[in-house]
Structure 1
Amino acid sequence: MDAIVLGGGLMGAASAYFLARRGVRVTLVERNRVGSGATVASFGNIRRSGRYIPQLALARRSLALWGEASKMLGRDVEFRATGHLRLIFSQAGLDEMRSFAEAARPWDLDLEELGPKEIRSRFPGLGPKAIAASFSPKDGSGNPRLIAPAFADAARRLGAKIVEEADVRAITRVVSGFKIETSKGDYAAEALLNTAGAWGARIAAQFGENVPIVAKGPQMGVTEPLPHRILPVVGVWAHDHGGGYLRQVERGNVVFGGGAERTDVSLDTGYATADPARLPGQLRALLPLLPMLANVAVIRTWSGCEGYVEDGLPVMGPSATTPGLFHAFGFCGHGFQLGPGVGEVMAEIMSMGRTDVFLDDFKINRF
């Protein structure tokens, strides 16, 4: 079997790797550089808490792969299981957390509920006015700049062809499968995997499958290095205080996101920019999580083009109209943790025609 993967973000690069590992002849085609789109704009959050419950089987599969990633790919992708702390500032947040924790227990996600005294003693300086929190010790973070190139390089070592900076000019269904015309030549294969992110709906539409999706850019930032004191990734329940989140990297910088509206992005350019005017409000929204941010310097802000599907869920699985066509796109800003699992599951579906991971809610014909 041979396959073309369109899109070189984390989903595409991971899929190319797992397909190649199964002996599939793979060509990955990326319009820019591998990992330069939504993946590199990611916060790097590897969390399971707060996910759509039917997505937890995939998240569990992916977490196991994150744990194996450095050995599997031959390089450190900075996965750190530092734990994920989600602060609670309201009764609505507490109710949401408890309801989720009960529903998530069958999926091996045991959330520890912390009271105010436990938060202060275990995580000093975080959430001084929080009334409670959940803690998931096996979750954590990874480096968005490292993971997609690591998968692509590992796929290349297994024989995959990685084609970067190639504009796709035409996609044609032919008797033997698919033909892709690009600025760097033409490619043909039996199977086609659409992992084109926010552009994925444009590809699907060419085969009569319409997906309501919009392109948005998150506002991310990083501070100057601070004395290291924050180990877990930190977020909130019930979108209290603007839904902000943050983590401190080993060099001391605090990476943050949330607390600001996402900007609109044109798919014609795919160019997303952070809005400096929104930065003060974003930082104010983060102060209840980490008050010490009031007196630090922000050294960089950035954004990236992400695809948000109307119902908040990704498109994942085989095409409903075209044999040999598969989709994995529209992860709505929540795909980073899922990436390795998506790659492995799509490789299973494409090479064997089945997977034991529940995907029914993500079918493209649900719209």
Structure 2
Amino acid sequence: MIETEVIVLGGGIVGASAALMLARKGKRVVLVERDFCGSHSSGVNYGGVRRQGRPLHQLPLSQRAHQLWADLPALIGIDGEYVRSGHLKLARSQADLEALHRYADSVRGFGLGLQLLDYAQLRARFAWVGDVVVGASLCPEDGHANPRLVSPAFARAAKQSGAQVFEQAEVTWIEHDSRLFQVHCANGLRLQAPWLLNCAGAWAGTVAAQFGESVPITSAHPAMLVTEPLPVVMNVSTGVEGGGIYARQVARGNCILGGGRGFALGPRQARPGQAAVLEILRNAGELYPFLKGAQAIRTWSGTEGYLPDHEPVIGPSSTTPGLLHGFGFAGAGFQLGPAVGEALAEIVCNGASRQPIEAFSICRFQA
């Protein structure tokens, strides 16, 4: 039995960030991960580090995350291939362009510095964009990073700061006696603490349900691919208003693209379907003509947790003192992760988060 102050379930970017922030605040913390830290949605996502397009009530957290990402090497010891390239959101119709204008008006007080581009302005600055695009919105300081490097690095940094990190430790049972949580793992590990952080990603609903907080969380599987190295053309990360594909090009020339859905192979594995990959490539040829004929050299998927309103659950349990939740990011938690981890650590240490998180309460799903 290991007695500690905080147990964190889940070694994705949210759980690892929380463990890192708690360790830096001098708390005794244990992080347990069923597989390997950063091996699920935190490590297989597109790598977008964007604020543009987020709902207004996510922006305070997103802005705080933007500050934390600004000095990533000081936080986790590596740069994680993080670049503030800018994020360009494309409009394929006048209605989509009008939606981008309305969004820019609504977030004017948040300091995103959005630049709205019409057809001519877009061609003058980004000549590689296809003619099907009628305009765009640019957020100059948004960017992208390599999730396969960044997410595991948060767990390593937590360990270097004093947290105990156990991988391949599947939780089999959790008990609570009104004062302490006891966590039992399949490998014989037993933990005890007054605080339990549920950051178990797409599987966090099972933990919440144990404490009388059933939530309608579902799993979805992103379809992702990377191309062969190409001449470097795309100098910003891109998305599409109204949904569709997203794309970025790294310094080596490979283009990383995503869109559509894959399918589950089992409880922990997923793959993109052939139809989804072909649809990504078809859309890419229209939106980014320089990609026509490019070869996809690898495809992959993962498992992400979605709630009906596409908003996460962040904050205290409605039933159990000492239980905190941080899950359900609907494929958009990579940028938010460090700020969510910090918010959870602040609740443990100070009783409240400095950022407003009331909109993300699990209470919204309770009858």
Bin for the TM-score computed over the shorter chain: over 0.9
Over aligned residues, Cα RMSD in angstroms?
1.3
Give 1:13-52 correspondences, 5 Å limit. Answer: 13-52=16-55
Partners of 1:356 and 1:107 in 2: CA distance? 17
* Between 301-310 and 116-125, the greater mean CA deviation after superposition: 116-125
Whether 1:165 aligns to 2:154 is: no
Deviations 1:144-195 (A, max 9, x none): 0111221111111111000000111100003541000002310111100000
Which aligned segments of 4 or more residues in structure 1 are displaced greater than 6 angstroms? Answer: none
Deviation at 1:230, TM superposition (A): 1.0
State the partner residue of 1:251.
252
Deviation at 1:294, TM superposition (A): 1.7
State the partner residue of 1:317.
315
Deviation at 1:97, TM superposition (A): 0.7
State the partner residue of 1:265.
264
SS at match of 1:78: coil
Partners of 2:28 and 2:346 in 1: CA distance? 14
Partners of 2:163 and 2:267 in 1: CA distance? 28
Partners of 2:358 and 2:262 in 1: CA distance? 31
Whether 1:216 aligns to 2:220 is: yes
Partners of 1:252 and 1:342 in 2: CA distance? 32
Paired residue type of 1:263: G
Partners of 1:160 and 1:284 in 2: CA distance? 46
Whether 1:154 aligns to 2:157 is: yes
State the partner residue of 2:355.
357
Give 1:1-367 correspondences, 5 Å limit. Answer: 2-184=5-187, 185-239=189-243, 243-258=244-259, 260=260, 262-265=261-264, 269-367=267-365
Partners of 2:212 and 2:264 in 1: CA distance? 24
Deviation at 1:248, TM superposition (A): 0.1
Deviation at 1:95, TM superposition (A): 1.7
Gaps of 5+ in 2: none
Paired residue type of 1:67: A
Question: Structure 1 vs Structure 2: percent identity of aligned residues?
Answer: 45
Deviation at 1:22, TM superposition (A): 0.8
Partners of 1:158 and 1:282 in 2: CA distance? 41
SS at match of 1:219: strand
Aligned length: 361
Partners of 2:43 and 2:154 in 1: CA distance? 14
Q: TM-score, normalised by structure 1?
A: 0.96
Q: Is the 8 A contact 1:92 1:238 kept in 2?
A: no
Q: Is the 8 A contact 1:319 1:364 kept in 2?
A: yes
* Between 282-291 and 322-331, the greater mean CA deviation after superposition: 282-291
Partners of 1:72 and 1:166 in 2: CA distance? 26
Q: TM-score, normalised by structure 2?
A: 0.96
Partners of 1:127 and 1:111 in 2: CA distance? 21
